[in-house]
Amino acid sequence: MPVFHTKTIESILEPVAQQISHLVIMHEEGEVDGKAIPDLSAPVAAVQAAVSNLVRVGKETVQTTEDQLMKRDMPPAFIKVENACTKLVQAAHMLKADPYSVPARDYLIDGSRGILSGTSDLLLTFDEAEVRKIIRVCKGILEYLTVAEVVEGMEDLVTYTKNLGPGMTKMAKMIDERQQELTHQEHRVMLVNSMNTVKELLPVLISAIKIFVTTKSSKSQGVEEALKNRNFTVEKMSTEINEIIRVLQLTSWDEDAWANKDSEAMKRAMALIDSKINQAKGWLRDPNAQSGDAGEQAIRQILDEAGKVGELCAGKERRDILGTAKTLGQMTDQVSELRARGQGATPVAMQKAQQVSQGLDLLSSKVENAARKLEAMTNSKQVLTKNIDAAQNWLADPYGGPEGEEHVRGIMSEAKKIADLCEDPKEREDILRSLGEIAALTAKLSDLRRQGKGDTPEARALAKQIATTLQNLQSKTNRAVANSRPVKAAVNLEGKIEQAQRWIDNPTTDDRGVGQAAMRGLVAEGRRLANAMLGPYRQELLGKCDRVEQLSAHLAELAARGEGESPQARAVAAQLQESLKDMKSKMQEAMTQEVSDIFSDTTTPIKLLAVAATAPPGAPNREEVFDERAAYFEHHAAKLGGTAEKAAAVGTANKSTVEGIQAAVKSSRELTPQVVSAARILLRNPGNQAAHEHFETMKNQWIDNVEKMTGLVDEAIDTKSLLDASEEAIKKDIDKCRVAMANVQPQMLVAGATSIARRANRILLVAKREVENSEDPKFREIVKAASDDLSKTISPMVMDAKAVAGNIQDPGLQKSFLDSGYRILGAVAKVREAFQPQEPDFPPPPPDLDQLHLNEEPAPPKPPLPEGEVPPPRPPPPEEKDEEFPEEKAGEMVNQQMMVAARQLHEEARKWSSKGNDIIGAAKRMALLMAEMSRLVRGVTGNKRALIQCAKDIAKASDEVTRLAKEVAKQCTDKRIRTNLLQVCERIPTISTQLKILSTVKATMLGRTNISEEESEQATEMLVHNAQNLMQSVKETVREAEAASIKIRTDAGFTLRWARKTPWYQ
């Protein structure tokens, strides 16, 4: 089947497909309409010339290349193309003699399909060879990174740096050229991100090797920490380069990276549970321990982490973990409540505490088993993938020795492990069947090679067959591993809400469990937020989560009984919608408050750590202070990461922002212990310049990463909500300072004043980012003026705080400080108001009565009433009529996945009136055309002409959506929204071009009996996947265009009317 992962392949296949589509239409006109097919000599000769040129270039390349895989895979592609070309030439000759010839028509359609398929195979083989060239360079860098382990002197380091530099430059250049060639935006982003990380880590690696060499050669303290720093950096760079190699080999977008993320999340959860279990049990054992103290918080964290693991599991495993965690949470609430009432030592409370302690052991065991199972499956999958290349190289070499056979055996062994862990018996049997086939074929090939017949046509055909079967086996094992995991809901809040809403509206529709998975994810995030809140607030949010969970379960139960459309189900759905909305609002409120508190100051702990690391050798308690500062820094970093993850899950961020936050959090978790190690080296080597430089390098990298995380978190939440929360927090800080002055507590006063200053500076940072993001001069001017006013109020408040702290009972100083605090509060309010949307005065102000003058002249006489019949009232304006989405007829053959994708786009577009909005008009047309295509793809008779024309019409509407979206983006003053809009609409032209090519491929198969069912299904599957991507991209473009239209330049002269057909409040 054709693949389109590069612009070169797409640019060659598109004109070929266009010519083939004309031939397919001629074939149908002859077959269905009985028309004579005109003389095709000229167009066939043009196709023959193009194909001959392509084959000639391919054969020349094969003769000069040393790539054995290319030498093996190119000849079959040549044969396929040449045979197809021969059929086309024969068809042209036969049709010239007899324009109605049936055999000629068959040759025409089979030749057309063969040309398209063979050209695609040839281009793919050549592209794979180009990718292998890049991979060889990447693997060379990987091998050279390990040489860092033997660098033990400064001369070695200089040589190492000189040798590593050119290779890194070459790899970076090749990756940059490759990413520009790719059509999949996701692949481009992944390559660029990984390559940027490698570039950023290069100076860190040199610094880490340098400090290791320095400490070891001078026999200073800190060698162990320096070794850890070096090994961490080498491992991190190796991981990123391996990710580059993985992405380079992808030809279609997949979510394969989920396995590593899930495995990492499970390991992190297990580590946190292990670190907290003793503290939790200590609290449970002590009947006098207070409710809400660190021990209870440890239990909450354990349950929270177990819940995360449960969400990553499927079936019984998931139910067990989540059910146990929920029960233990309820029991912990009971123990906490009893202790709060002073009844912690009663037999009931003691028994409950013991049950919770035993339950934690059980829960920990379940989490560990789940993590081991996932790790076993993903490890087998990764080993299998690594062995595939070696096995393919052995198969490509006709003189390959018996050691290559071991790679095939290794693949079979790992595939067997995956099959054994499969819960689906059909999948297990399918994998085992392939294993039996590969074993038999490999034994036969090995026997021929032992006889010296490895270069015979029979042996080469066997090698090719084994290679194909191995690829199929890899696909089957990948599918089995993916199916062992739960259905994935959207990564961001809005995506989950949409999926959940879709299920609530149609609980009887089979969405593969996505809607309920989204609902579970929302409830889990709500409980995670609640666990970090104080008593009554926690109970309130937990109550809302329980309500949503109960109603969701009730609706699912009704749908399972076939009563999903009943009045009772509709009533439950209505209640569920309201409860979900209520829970979402409370979650976002809690999350915004947490971001306001935790992110008010991100860098003070690392600055304090730097001060402790550079303390003079004779400073009192030097080691103890350092350990205390290091622990505080690690705790602070963990809180930043945890809060950022909540902002990603519960904020208004899009998918790319969520993934950016997750990547920044991961980097923060990896960097934090390395920063502490670097600081410890500096502590133990005072005055050492290399140690100082290394710590500064690690510190700056950590700060850069946290600043990036902060910016992404700010994008993920509503700016005005964050400012509201910060303003409320400053009010509370002022109240605390008032209490501190009344109780003569200068330390409490200083803490409160410091908090006010930090929050005010955080507001300035948010305002500065928004000014940089906007191109609206009026908005920039208002926000900048308000920010300048706020900036001027901070230093005076700090000075007043220092003065009153020195003489806390002086009424004049107290008043001066409070006045300064209120000036900050007033300036914060002005910044917040600058972000308030400007609304016109309504109703308009009354006229100035002093300017009114009465005329003394008499009024004119009243005109006579009309005589005769009273005219009829003016008719109302005609309602806008949208073409309704077509309902499926009983027994009608349609492709359900394409129909669902089309329906979802239509539902999104129908929210808006298409009057004065061509984007909405084009989106609605595309949805209706895709619904039609879902019928044509599955039509029993198969209308080739209609399928090809439908694809062309969809592509035309796609071009219109893209053009209009770019116009909107050009006039949008918000840089972030503009970038998001351009990113989503950039995908549309590529996907619509692919749709035309795939439709032509599918058209060559409709009504044919000489096509295997597997080949036909594969063509349909690719077409469906492409259609789903196109509908999703257009849907996202509609949403982003509407968001961008709010920030259109006032002098743009380009407007789209966004009028909701159904108001949001109905």
Question: pLDDT digits over 980-1037, tens only?
Answer: 899 888 889 989 998 998 888 888 887 777 777 777 777 888 888 889 889 989 998 9
Rounded (10°) CA dihedral 916, 919, 924, 929 = 130
Beta bridge partners of 1048: 972
For residue 78, what pLDDT is reported? 87
For residue 849, what pLDDT is reported? 56
CA angle in degrees (0–180, nearest 5) for 96-98-99 = 75
Question: Rounded to 5 degrees, what are φ and ψ at 893?
Answer: -90, 115
Report residue 591 CA to chain centroid gap.
20
For residue 255, what pLDDT is reported? 41
Residue closest to 653 by CA, chosen among 576, 597, 591: 591
CA angle in degrees (0–180, nearest 5) for 649-652-655 = 65
What DSSP character marks residue 1? -
For residue 1065, what pLDDT is reported? 36
Task: List helix spans (H) across 599-654.
Answer: 604-613, 622-650
For residue 846, what pLDDT is reported? 61
Tokens coding 110: 């089979």
For residue 838, what pLDDT is reported? 58
Cβ-Cβ contacts under 8 Å for 530 (sequence gap 6 or more): 537, 538, 541, 542, 545, 590
What distance in Å separates the CA atoms of residue 53 and residue 76, rounded to the nearest whole number?
17
Rounded to the nearest 5 percent, the helix, strand and coil shares of the chain are: 80, 0, 20
Residue closest to 966 by CA, chosen among 953, 978, 950: 978
Which residue is associated with the tokens 């049990």? 281
How many of the other CB atoms lie within 10 Å of CB of 505?
12
Q: Decide: 27 and 102 in contact? Cβ < 8 Å.
A: no
What distance in Å separates the CA atoms of residue 637 and residue 675, rounded to the nearest whole number?
11
186-208 pLDDT, tens per residue? 888 889 999 999 999 999 999 99
**Radius of gyration over every alpha carbon of the chain, rounded to an integer in angstroms:** 34
Residue closest to 968 by CA, chosen among 1059, 1061, 1047, 1060: 1047
For residue 254, what pLDDT is reported? 46
For residue 869, what pLDDT is reported? 59
Residues of the chain with pLDDT under 50: 254-258, 840-842, 940-941, 1063-1066
Give one DSSP letter per residue of 532-579, joined into a string.
Answer: TS-HHHHHHHHHHHHHHHHHHHHHHHHHHTT-TTSHHHHHHHHHHHHH
For residue 425, what pLDDT is reported? 83
For residue 889, what pLDDT is reported? 66
What distance in Å separates the CA atoms of residue 570 and residue 504, rounded to the nearest whole number?
9
pTM of the full structure: 0.76
Q: Decide: 356 and 299 in contact? Cβ < 8 Å.
A: yes
Distance, first Cα to last Cα, the chain: 48
Residue closest to 157 by CA, chosen among 213, 232, 229: 213
For residue 852, what pLDDT is reported? 54
What distance in Å separates the CA atoms of residue 781 and residue 787, rounded to the nearest whole number?
10
Helix 223-248 to helix 689-716 angle (10° resolution) is 50
What distance in Å separates the CA atoms of residue 88 and residue 79, rounded to the nearest whole number?
14
Q: Quick check: helix, strand or coil at residue 1008?
A: coil
Rounded (10°) CA dihedral 526, 528, 529, 534 = 120
Give one DSSP letter per residue of 411-447, joined into a string.
Answer: HHHHHHHHHHH-S-HHHHHHHHHHHHHHHHHHHHHHH
User: Can you say whether residue 77 is alpha, beta or left, with left for phi > 0 and alpha for psi between -120 and 50 degrees?
Assistant: alpha
What distance in Å separates the CA atoms of residue 372 and residue 383, rounded to the nearest whole number?
16
Cα distances from 177 to residues 181, 273, 886, in angstroms, run 7, 45, 45
Cβ-Cβ contacts under 8 Å for 335 (sequence gap 6 or more): 284, 344, 349, 352, 353, 356
Q: Quick check: helix, strand or coil at residue 774?
A: strand
Q: Quick check: helix, strand or coil at residue 642?
A: helix
100-144 pLDDT, tens per residue? 888 888 888 888 888 888 888 888 888 989 999 999 999 999 999
